Amino acid sequence: MAERRTPSAAPTPAPVLAVVASLQNHSSALSNFTSAWRALHSEAIVLESTVASRLHGFSELDQLCSAMDGPGLRTYLAEHRDELQDRSRSLDAALLVAPDPGRLVLAAGARFGRLHALGMKPSPEAREEARAIAVD
């Protein structure tokens, strides 16, 4: 009895021309990607330059307020406590740059909520002052 061969599951090799065509397609795609990447990089450089020139006149405090960065504002005030000679005037001016100054102040003070988590309660005077500020 003759032995029967079963077809193997191994893929048949692709014709050479098909492989070359596939490589050419990938080469074109890579070339297009490289071109698009260069254009994107150029646009990013222009954008960065434009933003830097617009922010040139703003202080770090102004930038934090403009970006509504409450935690950044809190950190800035803590780190520059001694440098801010007339803190209220410079802070007031910076808060005017914020889109929503009230929300920014709340975001800057958000970590003080930890006092409540620790079981500490504000005094009645502090509560009344907070209510008055919130109503305003």
More confident residue, 25 or 133: 25
What is the maximum alpha-carbon separation in the chain? 105
Write out pLDDT tens, residues 38-47: 999 999 999 9
pLDDT for 112 equals: 67
Q: How far apart are CA 111 and CA 128, in angstroms?
A: 20
Write out pLDDT tens, residues 82-122: 777 666 677 888 888 899 988 888 888 877 666 667 777 77
DSSP 106: H
Q: Please, are residues 61 and 76 in contact by the beta-carbon 8 Å criterion?
A: yes
Q: How far apart are CA 109 and CA 106, in angstroms?
A: 5
Q: Where are the domains of the chain?
A: 60-135
CA 81 to chain centre: 26
Buried b (16+ CB within 10 A) or exposed e, 117-134: eeeeeeeeeeeeeeeeee
Half-sphere exposure of 127 (CA within 13 A, CB side): 6
**Which amino acid appears at position 123 of this protein?**
S
Write out pLDDT tens, residues 7-17: 556 666 668 88
pLDDT for 115 equals: 67
Q: Please, are residues 94 and 65 in contact by the beta-carbon 8 Å criterion?
A: yes
